[in-house]
Amino acid sequence: MAAALLAFLGCLVAIVAAMYGAWLAVHVLLPWIGRRAAGRDNAFERAADERARTLFLSKLCAAQRRSWLARRRVTVRARSGTRYTIAPYDPYNIRSNDALFCLQVGGNTPDYDKLLAQKLLIECDEQLFLAKANVRSYSRVWDGRKEAALADCRARGLLVEA
Amino acid sequence: MAALGPRPIHVLRILDETGDTQVNYDPDDAAAVREVEERFEELMRRNFVAFDVSTQPGRIMRSFDPQAKEIIVSHQFSGG
């Protein structure tokens, strides 16, 4: 009789211990693992952002770097002589005197990489920039420039028609 | 006797989720150039855009040029 009682109590203790272990796993261990993983992701993203920022700043001239650090604006001169001002990456973050431009850069890259890509495209191939970007302007000049850019890029085989 | 000096190192930078992946190569090393060229062509097939930033202003590249000292490759662009 006493042995059966001891066995019963042993089983009861084992069941309670298992339930407590499961509770600990769900409420303590898994959230801790989650926090650790999130912390690692944040550290990865911070390192990527810092690397991209360093590269972006290294590709600016001294005046552009001063402008970016002071006002978060950088002015880029295209081959046509048109000046474009780039603000932090967002829709329509590029502007000229009389127009706004929206140019998205694909890929899961830090915003500073996207800013660098926008700057390089304006400097290296303004026509492709105008062909790709959405343009908002009250000036009708940009309608003609956009059409000319599209024609130029099609002729160079840079645009693939859907 | 040929003058010994530091060998020129060219750079291919691929903008990606780590910030950028930097591939350094010796333009006089044919095997290294071939390897980088293959990587470049693979990116071009995936519609990436390459900029030769060795000069100011830079230029868009359609094909690999081993003489370019620094190439930056970005994902493609689209209107917002």
- For the record, the structure tokens of B51 come out as 């900029």
ipTM field? 0.91
Tell me the pLDDT of chain B (80 aa) as tens digits.
445 666 779 999 999 999 999 999 999 999 999 999 999 999 999 999 999 999 888 999 999 999 999 999 999 999 87
Answer yes or no: pTM beyond 0.90: no
Phi, psi (degrees; rounded to nearest 5) at A85:
-105, 125
How close is the nearest chain B Cα to the Cα of A31, in Å? 26
In a domain, B60, yes or no: yes
Domain count, chain B: 1
Provide the angle, in degrees to the nearest 10, between the axes of the packed helices A30-58 and A111-124: 30
Burial of A23 (0-12, 13-18, 19+ CB in 10 A): exposed
Strands B10-16 and B70-74, how do they pair?
parallel
Domain of B14 in residue numbering reads as 10-74
In a domain, B79, yes or no: no
How close is the nearest chain B Cα to the Cα of A137, in Å? 15
- For the record, the structure tokens of A59 come out as 């590709």
In a domain, B5, yes or no: no
Kindly give the residue spans of alpha helices, DSSP state H, lying in B9-53. 30-45
B77 contacts in A (CB within 8 Å)? 103-106, 117, 121, 128-129, 132-133
